[in-house]
Amino acid sequence: MLSMKKSIGLVLTVCFCLVLTAWIPATQAKTVWRAQSSYPAGLPQLYAPAEHLAELVKELTDGELIIRMQPGGSIVPSKEILDAVDKGILDLGCTWAGWWMGKYPAAVLFGNSRPNGLQTQEMLSWIYHGGGLELWNEVYEDRNIQILPPYGMLGSENFCWSRKPINSLEDFKGLKFRTVGIWGKCLERLGARVVSLAGGEVYPSLERGVIDAAEFATPAIDRKLGFEEVCPYLKVPGIHEPCAPLETMVNTKSWAKLSKDIQSKVKLALKISTFHAINLAMKQDAEAMNYFLESDKVQVSKLTPEMIEEIIRIGDEELNKMAEEDEMFAKVLKSQRDFREKVEPYADLVRLPYPYAK
């Protein structure tokens, strides 16, 4: 009799649990993504926003999506992130579109690595509201890659560090100059000898005199790398790259497996990450530039209006040449130019001159 009661009780308990389970909403199983940046750990404005994005995604999704972010080279070489995301070796890659210029010439326009490119607000407005993100995805339509909005954004780069003064365009003749992208084509027209070097090779090459000048990144990043220790001359502004969106690429299968709710939260995390990166960079770059200005080791000077005008002219010619050679490049370039024609007259009309602190 007691055994029978126990059996009935057990059945009732199981039934109750089944009914209760039916009323409890199922929670999504935790998803863990393998992710890698193109940049080394500890590098401000490049790796830091990628780490911040991973933290935001975990927080906003209550841990339902975990991004295991790794620094450059941890899983694949930094310049193989495109292929790694395409093949599913990585679920997420945090990088810079300009690296893929050899395979996709139009990619460099999303990296904004071209003379007289878009300013920060213009670039973000074009990406989000001017068809930029759609075109960005179209560039990689032959890949298993979904391009999401940028995970960060660099401000204006330094124009260059040099071992000798550059006071006119004539001074570029014979100069061994480290750079990448369209700017390299422009420098060659000015008589420079363009050298392609990985980021980690720039400092020792300047120190040993292998190269005479180099551009790398923003004031805060360049200070972190210590370029002022080996180059006494710093030129600004970085007309060759006024800002740089940082590329967020996701494997299409990995993205499709996420619920619409989680996808929306990832996109929200990207907006927050970029907003945070832009505002933090303003402070970091100002502090770094003040450091250079106050240093006895560095002479900071600006490009003359005449130098800027000629650089823009040469840059436009090179852009037009590339547009003639590549249909997708032409399509993206036209979209950016059309957008600028729409917004820049307004921006120029309402923009106030800097009054400086009083």
Quick one: what percent of the chain has pLDDT higher than 70? 92
Band of the pLDDT at 29, cuts 50, 70, 90?
low
H or E, element range at 102: none
pLDDT of amino acid 174: 94
Give pLDDT tens digits for 87-137.
999 999 999 999 999 999 999 999 999 999 999 999 999 999 999 999 999
Residue at token pair 């650089």: 311
Q: What is the mean pLDDT of residues 197-225?
A: 91
Give the mean pLDDT of the chain: 91
Residue with tokens 């106050």: 294
| pLDDT for position 65 | 98
CA distance 223 to 208: 19
Which string of DSSP letters, residue by residue, matches 107-125?
HHHHTT-STT---HHHHHH
More confident position, 173 or 21: 173
pLDDT of residue 353: 84
Beta strands in 15-156 (DSSP E): 31-37, 65-70, 92-95, 145-154
pLDDT above 80 for 14: no
The CA distance from 71 to 88, in Å, is: 18
Given a contact cutoff of 8 angstroms between Cβ atoms, the answer to whether 68 and 32 are in contact is: yes
What share of the chain in percent tops pLDDT 90?
85
pLDDT of residue 21: 40
Radius of gyration of the CA atoms of the chain, in A: 25
Q: Structure tokens of 121?
A: 């607000």
Give me the pLDDT at residue 28, please.
Answer: 52
pLDDT, tens digit, for every residue of 306-339? 999 999 999 999 999 999 999 999 999 999 999 9
| Mean pLDDT, rounded, for 217-229 | 95
Average pLDDT over residues 142-168: 96
**Residue-wise pLDDT tens digits, 37-61:** 999 998 899 999 999 999 999 999 9
Tokens 């495109």 correspond to what residue? 82
Q: Parallel, antiparallel, or unpaired: how do β-strands 233-236 and 299-302 relate?
A: parallel
Whole-model pTM: value is 0.88
Give the count of beta carbons closer than 10 Å to the beta carbon of residue 276: 16
Domains of the chain, with CATH numbers?
31-153+244-285 (3.40.190.170), 160-241+296-344 (3.40.190.170)
pLDDT of residue 340 exceeding 70, the answer is yes
Task: Fill in the amino acid letter for 260.
Answer: K
DSSP string for 194-226: EE---HHHHHHHHHHTS-SEE--S-HHHHHHHT
Q: What is the residue whose two structure tokens read 């927050």?
A: 272
Measured CA to CA in angstroms, residue 321 lies from 144, 182, 341 at distances of: 30, 11, 21
- Top-confidence residue, 8 or 242: 242
Region 264-293: mean pLDDT is 97
Residue 337, SS3 per DSSP = helix
pLDDT band at 351 (very low <50, low <70, confident <90, very high): confident
Quick: pLDDT tens for 63-96: 999 999 999 999 999 999 999 999 999 999 999 9
Is the model more confident about 351 or about 223?
223
For position 32, what pLDDT does the model report? 97
Confidence (pLDDT) at 4: 44
